[in-house]
């Protein structure tokens, strides 16, 4: 019986959709992988803004929002799973007396070496009053893969992977995030186009 090779986790990596990935939901997506194990993977698309703003979302959950910088941000389409549920991707919160793998919020996934992803309302309440993490990206829905599914898609050349860079998520203009993620690999986007010319 063949032994499986140890799984390399893609947590805290970007998945960058290859141009041949024709799935309308994921074409030209950049996904930040929050969790990846032998049981599957979970990530958030960080470059597909939805139709509502963060200010709209706060109105829907009956919270004021004093941070104007957040209010104008779009709520992103995080993926096709649980699209009625909010996910907040944010800088790690360092709190005195808390171990590095714990968060100040009730329901937070601490991504080793990377960001934090919170699903509980307490992070919204903190942001509402002007506190909370400095940099955030809010999504509705998430992307998920069953056991072995992501590895199979990568083997089929559907995705490129690269260590994530928070600058791409929080600082890069939305329209440039795909190209900037590719450049982390040293790849210019035009080189991946199927109809690119050859010298």
pLDDT at residue 196, as a whole number:
43
Q: Kindly tell me if the per-residue pLDDT of 156 is higher than 80.
A: yes
pLDDT at residue 198, as a whole number:
41
**Tokens 């960058």, located at residue:** 16
Mean pLDDT of 80-101: 80
Could you give the count of Cα atoms lying within 13 Å of 105 in the half-sphere of its Cβ?
Answer: 26
In sequence order, what are the residues at sequence separation of 6 or more whose Cβ sits closer than 8 angstroms to the Cβ of residue 12? 32, 33, 111, 112, 113, 114, 115, 163, 164
pLDDT at residue 144, as a whole number:
97
Q: Kindly tell me if the per-residue pLDDT of 188 is higher than 50.
A: yes
The second-level CATH assignment, the architecture, of 13-192 is: 3-Layer(aba) Sandwich (3.40)
Per-residue burial over 52-88, b if 16 or more Cβ lie within 10 Å, else e, is: ebbbebbeeeeeebebeebeebbbbbbbeeeeeebbb
pLDDT at residue 95, as a whole number:
60
Q: Kindly tell me if the per-residue pLDDT of 3 is higher than 50.
A: no
Q: Kindly tell me if the per-residue pLDDT of 47 is higher than 80.
A: yes
**How large is the greatest C-alpha to C-alpha distance in the chain, in angstroms?**
60
What's the mean per-residue pLDDT of the chain?
87
Range in 24-38, 99-113, 152-166 with the lowest mean pLDDT: 99-113
Higher-pLDDT residue of 130 and 42 is 42
pLDDT at residue 96, as a whole number:
55
pTM exceeds 0.95, yes or no: no
């Amino acid at each position: 019986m063949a032994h499986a090779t140890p799984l390399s986790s893609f947590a805290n990596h970007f998945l960058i959709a290859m141009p041949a990935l024709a799935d309308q939901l994921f074409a030209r997506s950049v996904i930040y992988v929050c969790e990846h194990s032998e049981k599957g993977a979970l990530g958030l698309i960080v470059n597909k803004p939805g139709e509502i703003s963060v200010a709209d979302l706060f109105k829907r959950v009956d919270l004021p929002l004093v941070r104007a910088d957040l209010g104008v941000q779009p709520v992103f389409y995080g993926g096709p799973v649980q699209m009625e549920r909010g996910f907040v991707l944010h800088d790690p919160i360092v709190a005195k007396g808390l171990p590095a793998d714990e968060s100040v919020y009730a329901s937070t996934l601490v991504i080793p070496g990377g960001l934090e992803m919170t699903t509980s309302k307490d992070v919204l309440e903190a942001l509402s009053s002007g506190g909370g993490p400095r940099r955030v990206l809010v999504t509705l829905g998430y992307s998920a893969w069953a056991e072995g599914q992501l590895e199979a898609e990568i083997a089929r050349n559907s995705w490129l992977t690269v260590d994530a860079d928070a600058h791409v998520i929080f600082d890069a203009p939305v329209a440039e995030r795909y190209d900037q993620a590719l450049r982390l690999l040293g790849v210019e986007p035009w080189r991946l186009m199927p109809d690119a010319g050859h010298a």
